[in-house]
A = this chain, B = another copy of it.
Amino acid sequence: MLHRRIYQFLIIYAIGLGLLLALKYGLNLSDYVIPSPDEIVRTCRTYGGPYLLAVLNTLAVAVLGHILSICLATVVAVIGRLTAWIGSFIRTAAYNIQAYPIVAVAPIIFILLGDGLQSRLLIAAMICYFPLLLSFIGVFSEPIREIEHFYESTGRMTWRLQVKIRAFENIQKLTTVIVGSATMAMVGTIVAEFIAATAGIGYSIRIALYQSDLAKILVALFLIGVGTSLYLVSLEWAGNALQKRLKSL
């Protein structure tokens, strides 16, 4: 499993790199437009270590942000599932806030929160939570009549029970989305670092861009890919274990 994900990633990365290099030699572009393999290897030697540490740093924040956004999405979806005014209001709020590009909202966030880990985490979570929210709202607002009928008609239905029933019946969809959104958490963190932090791989990318150093960016992307794959694999493993446990019940 681990094995597969990683070598699939390697194949993808190799394809991408191959394409770039083909372009380079095909169009005879100079080394400053697309770096030579030689330079990429050199950059990797020099920056591989520090970049790996940066990716780990980023990954740690991403995991936190991911958890935060799962909580956020659950809360919003549980309220947004309601057909009442408040539900539609919360949905409107969630959708509208999401419609704002983070770069436009970031200055306001910094004014309000200052520049600690908080802002970084909030930005990461905001980027990651919306895809979760969409699926969660979809899942939580669709009744499962054959199960819910009893609780409805005996007056036993509570919002918690309803959420539990719908979550349980849709556990596969939910795990798919949660696992998949891990990559969004990663992206969110990188973007947050890109605009705000002084650490993490997003910060390194920012500098590499500033230095117009595509070789560094390629190394960073490689390490991000590996890091993300590892995180995905662990989540997938956990998701499978959970589902297997539930099925074996």
Contact = CB atoms under 8 A, between A and B. Distances in A.
Given A96-B183, A137-B176, A183-B95, A103 B209 contact: yes
A183 B126 CA distance: 13
B183 A98 contact: yes
Contact of A93 (B12, B23, B194): B12
Number of this chain's copies in the assembly equals: 2
A226 B131 CA distance: 21
A220 B180 contact: no
Contacts of A177: 134-135, 138
A107 interface: yes
Among A5, A104, A212, max chain B CB count under 10 A is at: A104
A38 interface: no
Interface residues of A, number: 69
B96 A228 contact: yes
A227 to B, nearest CB: 8
B33 A111 contact: yes
Contacts of A131: 130-131, 134-135, 184
A197 interface: no
Given A95-B228, A100-B187, A191-B103, A176 B141 contact: yes
A130 B93 CA distance: 21
Among A100, A111, A130, max chain B CB count under 10 A is at: A100
Interface in A32-71: 33-34
Given A8-B89, A173-B142, A224 B99 contact: yes
Among A134, A142, A212, max chain B CB count under 10 A is at: A134
A96 B230 CA distance: 11
A101 interface: yes
Contacts of A224: 99-100
Nearest to A29: B111
Contacts of A11: 89
A240 interface: no
Contact of A95 (B130, B174, B180, B209): B180
A196 interface: no
Interface string A123-166: 00000001101110111011000000000000000000000000
Among A99, A111, A205, max chain B CB count under 10 A is at: A99
